[in-house]
Amino acid sequence: MKFRRQHPIGPYIVDFICIERRIVIEADGGQHQDCIEDRQRDEWFASQGLTVLRFWDNEILQETEAVLQQIAQIAQTS
């Protein structure tokens, strides 16, 4: 799989996207907790046929293998 970084999709710029598998990955800091705008973004992405995976920054840094496993698992079904 090939991911593009900081890629524009419609009115948004995503952190990472695999266009081939239609997977968007967002790396979020604490300011994104309970963020209404993120839910609206996710709904828009879903309406475009994209799967959104959101991970907390500390989760990516401290549980890298688990994050990669989740991405691989979703990619297999996409």
Q: Under a CB-based contact definition with an 8 Å cutoff, are residues 26 and 7 in contact?
A: no
Does domain 4-68 match CATH 3.40.960.10?
Answer: yes
Percent of the chain at pLDDT > 70 equals: 94
CA 46 – CA 33 distance, rounded (Å):
20
* Residue 60 burial class via C-beta count within 10 angstroms: exposed 0-12, middle 13-18, buried 19 and up: middle
CA 31 – CA 14 distance, rounded (Å):
16
The tens digit of pLDDT for each residue in 22-56 reads 999 999 876 656 778 888 999 999 999 999 999 99
Tokens in use for 21? 């598998």
Residue 31 confidence (pLDDT): 61
Higher pLDDT, 11 or 30: 11
Domain boundaries, the chain: 4-68
